[in-house]
Chain A
Amino acid sequence: MKIPFGLPRPPRAPIRPPAPRALYLLFATTVLASVPHLLMQPPWLGAVFVAIIAWRLVIARRGDTPPRALVRAALSVAMVALVIVQYQTIFGRTAGSALLVSFAALKILETSSLRDAMFCNILVTIVVVAAFLFDQSPATAAWGLACVLLVIVNFTLLVSRGSFTAGRALGLTTRIVALGLPIALVAYVLFPRIEGSLWGIAEQTNDAVTGLSDRVEPGSISRLNLDEAVAFRVDFQGDAPPRPERYWRLLVLEQFDGRAWSRSSRNARRVQIKPGEQAVIYRYDLTLEPTDKRWLPVLELPLSIEGSGRINELALARARRPVSERRRYRAASSPATYLSEDVATGAGANRPPHVTDEVLALARSFAADGGGAEAVTSRILSYFREQPFHYTLTPPPTGEAPVHDFLFETRRGYCEHYASAFAALMRAAGFEARVVLGYQGGEFNPSGGYYIVRQYDAHAWAEIRVPGRGWRRIDPTAAVAPERVDMGLEALRRLASAGALGSELDAESIRALLQVDWLDARVRQLVLLGDLLTYQWNTWVMAYGPEQQQLLLRQLGIRAPNWTWMILALTASVSAFVLVTWVLLSGAGRQRASPQKYYTRFLRKLARAGFATRRSEGPRDLARRAAARFPRAQGQIESITGHYAALVYAPAGRARLADLRKEVRQLRL
């Protein structure tokens, strides 16, 4: 090896066979690191893995040598073949994970030399990080940290070869990690994040994402009403709108086939929406759970959205690609009464199929008294309120013509029934109307100061177009069950379980019904605290992408953090931390505690008190003279001199040095 700069040739790195103890710990670490992979792989892989480990242990117990290279090569080929049979590929996350743990097991099988052991230990770090591709929960992070600590312990045990107890190795490991952590955190914050991928993500991870679909038909939302999964969390800067104003729009459904509402097939353009005059503007950070959809929920009329989100002409926000990872974005919205005229008009007020003559007749009766869309709307809502319509969490099934069945037969429904029936009636009456799908409300988490919107907050409402003013939100459900909008679905469910849903109750009795006992309240508090931790974790770990990075850096006062800036800052701060580490470890920064250092302080104190030291005299003569000059401090002076003499002539313990330091500090002349 040629060494540049005229450095002396490095000697060969020392090699010694690893101690058996170190090998066993390495095997244990490898197994621990492989567990999360094995749990999501087919059982045969776990069985093979366990078999290979057992084989290695038998070898170790008998003192045999590991199988020969030919056998190992055959095994490797067999494992690759098995993975290909299972997944038809060796690329991608899942197949890659299977290959990785297979190789880890085979590596263990052959490991007996230091070289193999070091290699295996490095392989373990890859196995650990690969597991994060499947799960990034705090529990996984804790497991990962444990694995990393074990890996470092393994390194130290392998290198120090038996001269180290595992406990002391762990102590050293903790110090190393503690010193490495600041470097890691700075790099984590400043390393420029990029949107999307380097070579594309072939497969989707979220196999069973619950949530809204892009159709509204009977049952499409009510199936979610027990789903407590978090849809997104919102952190408002400044005031939040009151609950009845918190409508999160997700989808606008303009196609109605008489049964289901669905999206129209037009290509939405990107538009710039201007706020109305005197509009209240709410700014918020929204952390969306993965949906595998491009929909980004926003409050009512979105004015701006940061990052890669776009606002289209339906006043909806869309991501560039499906949201497969948790994602955070900042947006501003204005919950105006009318969405601005910019928002495109929908499909016409055509008579949809499956709308019966009775429905048509009913719609015409509402329109007969004249008036615009708003007048007709209030008539329909009064009709819902006055006729025996009921809001229920368990709507009865409807037939081929759901709007007809609901209006004239069951009259019991969930939000989708009301929204759908209302919009259908409006259209039948000759007005433009559409169904909007999204979430309504959200629970406030007082410990974190943010709102949690869950899947059961999914809601459907309607929008009507008032010519000259724009689209206006109408929530027919609120006409029937104002509690849904005022208190949220959770409260509604509790009322329902008390049998009080739909009964005429005054506010006082409703509050009494909703009163929860002390224990429930504490449990709820704990749940919310847990959610806060999850939320912070999501914000800083799982959703920490380019958008969140920009947000954070801007909060830290950097106006336009671009790539150049980030790379410079990254280099500078990492170097600074490395330097600090070096100073801490080499002791370059501090003068070593020595008897001379404290004795010099003592002499300085004497000098300040006007006592001249003579070059020719030793400490004892000096002490005698000083004691005569400062009789009150005689004891201290003698004690200091005694400590100093003892330390210089016979290196004594640290305790004595500490005593010297203390007494010099306390000396008053």
Chain B
Amino acid sequence: MSPPPELSEVHAAAPATDALRTDSRKVYILPTRFGVLFGGALLLMLLVSVNYNNGLGHLFTFLLAGVAVVAMHYTQRNLVGIRVSLEAGRPVFAGEQAHAAVRIRDELRRERRAVWLRGAGGEHVFDLAAGGEKRIELPFHPPRRGVVALPDTYLVSVYPMGLFCAWTRILRGTPRQLVYPRPAPPLPLPVTGGGDDAGDVSGGRSGQGDFDNLRDHRLGDPLSRVHWRTSARGTGLKTKVFGGEGRRNLVLRFADTAGDTETRLSILCRWVLDAQRANLEYALQLPGRQLESGRGLGHQQRCLELLALYKPVS
């Protein structure tokens, strides 16, 4: 049985940023199909020039070949000496688009032109002034929930002539993007504990109606729910607890769901979101791992992280 993942572990595995500087040994270059075509054209010109013993033909063929060689150097040069740092964006739900932020800085006081930043999910073309800096959000679609490596991202350039394509892979593997399970389609919260009127849970009650109970104020409780009258008595802030919330003692249980693991996690995710929207207090129980009852955005985030990192018991 694998140990339950700790959040600290996630953060350790996924540093916020990673940086590197492109250098000439890691910039690869190959002719594009236009480069191959151009090479063919040069060969044709050379054959014709040789056949007709044509001086200018030779000269211009070699000139064009020299130009292509120089262009190749220019292409490589366009990518060398760029510092790239990449950071993962906010956690997203599976199926949503995530954004990796790429920060790019020229370190050789060179003007960069038509550099393509290309990842699995998108591409972006940019120019960079000499010594300039840019931040680019590169969208991508995480393939699954969990801690997902950012897709292979490349800097690509065919500048200046389109005959050669230089590329360098930046930042493979790290950092990582946290991906929550995809929320299931809306469905009622589970009936748990001693609740009798199951299913009818609607959020957004006014703070003025009847309330069932008072409890100590916790960080995150909306001010509208503070029971000021009681609080004014010097007992500290009290928060109103509305019908059923406390009584029901909502527990979102993996065992209450059906389907394969991912479906179950999706359902749990949906419940967490709905419970939070309804401002309910809820606990989360996964095999081998559970979170005590709680509420608020902090609690929701902890629950979602737990769902994201859940590893089925083998």
Q: List residues of chain A with CB under 8 Å of any chain B CB.
A: 3, 7-8, 10-11, 13-14, 16, 93, 118-119, 122-123, 125-126, 128-130, 132-133, 136, 140-141, 144, 148, 152, 155-156, 158-161, 163-164, 172, 176-177, 179-185, 187-188, 191, 193-199, 201, 325, 540-545, 578, 581-582, 585-587, 592, 651
Given A10-B30, A586-B73; A148-B51 close (CB under 8 Å): no
List chain B positions with a Cβ less than 8 A from chain A. Answer: 24, 28, 30, 32-34, 37-38, 41, 44-45, 47-71, 73-74, 76-77, 80, 108, 113-114, 116, 118, 123, 125, 127, 131, 154, 156, 158-163, 165, 167, 169
Minimum Cβ distance to chain B for residue A467 (Å): 45
Say whether B41 contacts A13, CB under 8 Å: no
The reply to whether B123 and A581 contact each other, CB–CB distance below 8 Å, is: no
Q: A13-B158, A188-B58 are in contact. List 12 more A-B contacts (CB 8 A).
A: A14-B156, A125-B38, A126-B45, A128-B60, A129-B61, A132-B54, A148-B60, A159-B159, A325-B52, A544-B55, A585-B77, A587-B108
Which of B59, B61, B131 is most buried by chain A, counting CB atoms within 10 A of its CB?
A: B59
Q: Which of chain A's residues has its CB closest to B55's CB?
A: A541
Residues of A within 8 A of B30 (CB): 3, 10
Chain B neighbourhood of A176, CB < 8 A:
67, 70-71, 74, 160-161
A542 touches B55 (CB 8 A): yes
**Known contacts being A132-B56, A180-B70, is A198 close to B50, with CB within 8 Å?**
yes
B53 close to A545 (CB less than 8 A): yes
Among residues of A, the one whose C-beta sits closest to the C-beta of B162 is A159
Q: Which of A8, A122, A164, A184 contacts B66 (CB 8 A)?
A: A184
Chain B residues in 8 Å Cβ range of A592 = 108
What's the A-B contact tally at a CB cutoff of 8 Å? 190
Contact yes or no, A129 B37, CB < 8 A: no
Which residues from A are CB-within-8-Å of B156? 11, 13-14
**Cα of A229 to Cα of B158 in the assembled complex, Å:** 50
Most buried by B among A195, A541, A543: A541
- Give, as a whole number of angstroms, the nearest-CB distance from B223 to chain A: 47
Would you give the shortest CB distance from A342 to chain B, in whole angstroms? 33
The prevalent SS among residues of B at the interface is: helix
Q: How many Å from the CB of B96 to the closest CB on chain A? A: 24
The CA of A148 and the CA of B45, in the complex, are separated in Å by 14
Contact A197 B53 (CB under 8 A): yes
- Complex: chain B residue closest to A205, CB-CB: B52
| A291 CB to nearest chain B CB (Å) | 15
**Interface centre among A122, A152, A195, A198, by most B CB within 10 Å?**
A122
Docked-complex contact B52 and A133, CB < 8 angstroms: yes
Of chain B, the residue at the smallest CB distance from A548 is B55
Given A125-B64, A160-B114, A183-B65, also A14-B125 (CB < 8 A): yes
Please pick, from B54, B62, B68, the residue contacting A133 in the complex, using a CB distance under 8 A: B54
* Residue of A whose beta carbon sits closest to that of B26: A8
**15 contacting pairs across A/B (C-beta < 8 A):** A8-B169, A11-B154, A14-B118, A123-B41, A140-B56, A156-B161, A163-B113, A164-B113, A180-B67, A180-B68, A184-B59, A184-B63, A197-B50, A201-B52, A651-B131
Q: A93 to chain B: which residues have CB within 8 Å?
A: 52
**By the criterion CB–CB under 8 Å, are A159 and B67 in contact?**
no
Q: How far is the CA of A177 from the CA of B56 in the complex (A)?
A: 16
> Cβ of B113 and Cβ of A126 under 8 Å apart?
no
Residues on B with C-beta less than 8 A from A187 are 62, 65-66
Contacts of B56 in A (CB 8 A): 132, 136, 140-141, 144, 541-542
Name the residue on B nearest A161 (C-beta). Answer: B114
Q: Are B63 and A181 in contact, CB atoms less than 8 angstroms apart?
A: yes
Minimum CB–CB distance from A546 to chain B (whole Å) comes to 9
* Interface pair A132/B57, CB less than 8 Å apart: yes
Closest Cβ of chain A: how far from B116's Cβ, in Å? 5
Chain A to chain B: the 7 pairs with minimum beta-carbon distance, closest first: A180-B66, A183-B66, A155-B161, A184-B62, A184-B63, A187-B62, A132-B56
Q: Which residues of A contact B154 (CB under 8 A)?
A: 11
Q: Looking at A176, A545, A651, which has the most chain B CB atoms within 10 Å of its CB?
A: A176
- In the complex, chain A residues whose CB is within 8 Å of the CB of B167: 8, 10-11
A129/B60 in contact, CB under 8 A: yes
Query: Of B37, B64, B123, B163, which one neighbours A148 at CB under 8 angstroms?
Result: B64
Q: Decide yes or no: A14 and B160 within 8 Å by CB, A126-B44, A201-B52, A545-B53 being known contacts.
A: no
Say yes or no: B66 contacts A159, CB within 8 Å: no
Chain B residue contacts of A133, Cβ below 8 A: 48, 52, 54, 57
Taking CB atoms, residues of chain A closer than 8 Å to B66 are 179-184, 187
Taking a contact as CB atoms closer than 8 A, the residue among B33, B41, B58, B123 that contacts A191 in the complex is: B58
Choose among B56, B59, B118 the residue with the greatest number of A CB atoms under 10 Å from its CB: B56
**Known contacts being A129-B49, A188-B62, is A160 close to B160, with CB within 8 Å?**
yes
Find chain A residues with CB under 8 A from B123 CB.
14
Query: Chain A residues near B57 (CB, 8 Å)?
Result: 129, 132-133
Question: Quick check: B33 and A10 within 8 Å, CB to CB?
Answer: no
**Chain A positions within 8 Å of B44 at CB level:** 126
- Nearest residue, chain A, Cβ from B56: A132
Contacts of B50 in A (CB 8 A): 193-194, 197-198
CB contacts (< 8 Å) of A542 on chain B: these are 55-56
Give Cα A206–Cα B219 distance, bound, in whole angstroms: 99
Most buried by B among A11, A543, A582, A585: A11
Give A125 to B41 CA distance when docked, in angstroms.
Answer: 8
Question: Separation in Å of the A549 CB from the closest CB of chain B?
Answer: 11
Query: With A and B bound together, what is the CA distance between A133 and B156 in angstroms?
Result: 39
The answer to whether B73 and A581 touch across the interface, beta carbons within 8 angstroms, is: yes
Min CB gap A143→B, angstroms: 11
Query: Please, which residues of chain A bring their CB within 8 A of the CB of B74?
Result: 176, 585
Q: Determine which residue in B38, B63, B73 has the highest number of CB atoms from chain A within 10 A of its CB, and name it.
A: B63
Partner of B159, one of A11, A125, A160, A585: A160
Given known contacts A14-B156, A163-B127, A199 and B63 CB-to-CB distance under 8 angstroms: no
Q: Of B64, B123, B125, B127, which is in contact with the most chain A CB atoms at under 10 Å from its CB?
A: B64
Look across to chain B and name the residue whose beta carbon is closest to the beta carbon of A118.
B34
With both chains docked as a complex, state the minimum distance between the C-beta of A237 and any C-beta of chain B, in angstroms.
Answer: 23
Contacts of A184 in B (CB 8 A): 59, 62-63, 65-66
Residues of B within 8 A of A129 (CB): 45, 48-49, 57, 60-61
What chain B residues lie within 8 Å of A585 (beta carbons)? 70, 73-74, 77
Complex contact A586–B158 (CB within 8 A): no
Given contacts A128-B60, A161-B125, contact A199 B70 (CB under 8 A): no
Chain B residue numbers with a CB within 8 Å of A198 are 47, 50-51
Write out the residue numbers on chain B whose beta carbons fall within 8 Å of the beta carbon of A158.
162
Chain B nearest Cβ from A101, distance in angstroms: 16
Do A132 and B51 contact each other (CB < 8 Å), given the known contacts A118-B162, A176-B160, A586-B24? no
**Complex Cα gap A581–B49 (Å):** 26
Closest A residue to B108 by beta carbon equals A587
Q: Which residue of chain A lies nearest to B32 when distances are taken between CB atoms in the complex?
A: A13
Bound CA–CA A188/B154 (angstroms): 39
CB pair A132 B60 closer than 8 Å = yes
Asked if residues A199 and B51 are in contact (CB atoms below 8 Å), the reply is yes
A164, B156: Cα distance in complex, Å: 18
Alpha-carbon separation in the docked complex, A128 to B57 (Å): 9
Whether the Cβ atoms of B53 and A148 lie closer than 8 Å is no
Q: In the complex, what distance in Å separates the CA atom of A232 from the CA atom of B57?
A: 23
Give chain B residues whose Cβ lies under 8 Å from the Cβ of A182: 66
Contact A541 B59 (CB under 8 A): yes
Find the A residue at minimum CB distance from B166.
Answer: A10
Find chain A residues with CB under 8 A from B162 CB: 13, 118, 155, 158-159
B residues within 8 A CB of A13? Answer: 32-34, 156, 158, 162, 165
Give chain B residues whose Cβ lies under 8 Å from the Cβ of A195.
53
Chain A residue nearest to B68 (CB atoms) is A180
Contact partners of B160 in chain A: CB under 8 A: 155-156, 159-160, 172, 176
* Set of chain A residues within 8 Å of B114, measured between Cβ atoms: 14, 159-161, 163
A130/B24 in contact, CB under 8 A = no
Residues of B within 8 A of A14 (CB): 114, 116, 118, 123, 125, 156, 158
From residue A490, how far is it (CB to closest CB) to chain B in Å? 31
Whole-angstrom distance between the alpha carbons of A543 and B80 in the complex?
44
